[in-house]
Amino acid sequence: MTPMVRAEQVCKSFGSLRVLKGIDIEVDAGEVLCLVGPSGSGKSTFLRCINHLERVDAGRLYVDGDLVGYREKGDKLYEISPKHAARQRRDIGMVFQHFNLFLHRTALENVIEAPMLVKGESRAEATARGRDLLQKVGLSAKADAYPAQLSGGQQQRVAIARALAMEPKLMLFDEPTSALDPELVGEVLGVMRDLADAGMTMVVVTHEMGFAREVADTIAFMDDGVVVEAGRPSEVLGAPRHQRTQDFLSKIL
Ligand code: ADP
Ligand code: MG
């Protein structure tokens, strides 16, 4: 089976700052990978590479068997066209810490925008599916509300529905609950858990260790631009093999 995500020695620098120093990881279809690690370890940069927001400078990164951003010819790599990149990107949903909703659009309008614009769905078609998705995230009653009229947890659930509207094969979450008041974290994690249970392939950067323990198939601990260790939650959380992992976990658990 082709893994949904495969990173082989993925490297990324910003100028002279080496941020990713050879990331190796695989995520199978239908699996949930939780990425944990200290601030500045490169977690967001790695997600952004998967989603074409940053370009890998060395190593290979594949999504569903396709090299991200490049095509291979012999042992040479060529950048793909913006159009080809946009096509690859369509299949990947991303949810950010700060929701990033369109503020002058209602919840429903946020959800239907991309399917209409990018996929050419009719308004009626997109609206019908958009309403289903809002129901799935528990927000049927808020379809016509503007982001400012929604709590942070509700806004984040709209953001998840919006990403799902493109029918992605992979969902990326970058600290989706870090900006939320504590009492709103659970409703967002609940939606993510439902999504995982429904078989969505997910890569989740999070500090929510309870969620990671229960939902992740694999937890990868990143530090200083590498995956220090990865394994089942019971292994990584219960019996971390590396001192760096132990130190990190002792600070947050
Ligand atoms: P994490 O998400 O694990 O906190 P990041 O991937 O956001 O880590 O950042 C890793 C390092 O890369 C940090 O030192 C950060 O300042 C740096 N960095 C991230 N994006 C950029 C950028 N666009 N330009 C320069 N440095 C960046
Ligand atoms: Mg980050």
- Ligand that lies nearest to the alpha carbon of residue 42, given by its number in the listed order: 1
Query: 128 alpha carbon to ligand 1 midpoint, in Å?
Result: 39
Radius of gyration of the chain (CA): 18
Contacts of 250 (CB under 8 A, 6+ apart): none
Angle between helices 123-136 and 152-164 (to 10 degrees): 130
List the structure tokens of 90: 């369509």
Q: Please name the residue whose Cα sits nearest to atom 12 of ligand 1.
A: 19
pLDDT band at 253 (very low <50, low <70, confident <90, very high): confident
Query: 67 alpha carbon to ligand 2 midpoint, in Å?
Result: 23
Query: 48 alpha carbon to ligand 2 midpoint, in Å?
Result: 10
pLDDT at 214 exceeding the cut of 90: yes
Q: Report pLDDT for 93.
A: 98
Q: Please name the residue whose Cα sits nearest to atom 22 of ligand 1.
A: 14
The pTM of the full predicted model, rounded to 2 decimals, is 0.97
pLDDT at 63 exceeding the cut of 90: yes
Query: 22 alpha carbon to ligand 2 midpoint, in Å?
Result: 18
The helices-and-strands tally (H runs, E runs) of the chain is 9, 12
Residue for token digits 């946020």?
110
CA distance 43 to 41: 6
pLDDT at 6 exceeding the cut of 90: yes
Contacts of 236 (CB under 8 A, 6+ apart): 219, 220, 221, 229, 230, 245
The tens digit of pLDDT for each residue in 79-137 reads 999 999 999 999 999 999 999 999 999 999 999 999 999 999 999 999 999 999 999 99
pLDDT at 75 exceeding the cut of 90: no
Q: Report pLDDT for 205.
A: 98
- Ligand that lies nearest to the alpha carbon of residue 178, given by its number in the listed order: 2
- Ligand that lies nearest to the alpha carbon of residue 225, given by its number in the listed order: 1
pLDDT band at 25 (very low <50, low <70, confident <90, very high): very high
List the structure tokens of 112: 């239907």
Q: Which atom of ligand 1 is nearest to the CA of 37?
A: 3
> β-strands 32-36, 218-223: how paired?
parallel
pLDDT band at 220 (very low <50, low <70, confident <90, very high): very high
Residues flanking ligand 1, CB < 6 Å: 14, 17, 19, 39-45
The tens digit of pLDDT for each residue in 135-151 reads 999 999 999 999 999 99
